[in-house]
Amino acid sequence: MFGATGFGVAANYTKVDSGLTYPNQLRNEQFALEGLSDAANVVAFYENFGWGVRLAYNWRDEFLSSRFDGAGASPNYTEEYGQFDLNVSYQWGDNLTLQVEAINLTDEIQRIHGRTDTEALFVTQTGPRYMIGARYKFGQ
């Protein structure tokens, strides 16, 4: 928090280090840990006078997402990915909160490849998602 301004920043970074690798040149079944990758999040926020605003950037490095493609031993790698998310809320009195949320504001693309970067297996562009909501608390 930056004093009593209502502005603040939160950040984290997770570093994953493992000696296990998946040698792509080998065509037989191999042991490997799936899903290991570095990740980071940075959130800038404002919380004051009933307002809550959060802008987050979420990033994840490339990782081995699967060791099998349905036909045999063939690795799938989810490529490095980052996206911006935004949440704005306003608390109206003690009981009512209104909220607007946008996920993947910049319409980022997710890509999965095989043994090489040029072997695209899946490419997904879902577009931004928006949500509008209200929450009412009954009683105390």
pLDDT of residue 102: 97
**Residue ranges per structural domain of the chain:** 60-140
Band (pLDDT 50/70/90 cuts) for residue 79 is very high
Poorest-confidence range of 2-6, 22-26, 74-78, 109-113?
22-26
- Which of 84, 91, 104 has its CA nearest to residue 135? 91
Confidence of residue 24 (pLDDT cuts 50, 70, 90): confident
| 120 has pLDDT over 80 | yes
User: For the chain, what is the mean pLDDT?
Assistant: 92
Give the whole-angstrom CA distance, residue 91 versus residue 43.
Answer: 20
Q: Are 33 and 22 in contact (CB under 8 A)?
A: no
Q: Model-level pTM?
A: 0.83
Report CA 43 to chain centroid distance, whole Å: 12
Percentages helix, strand, coil for the chain (3-state, rounded to 5) are: 0, 55, 45
Tell me if 12 sits within 8 A of 41, measured CB to CB. yes
Q: Is the pLDDT of residue 105 over 80?
A: yes
For residues 90-112, average pLDDT: 96
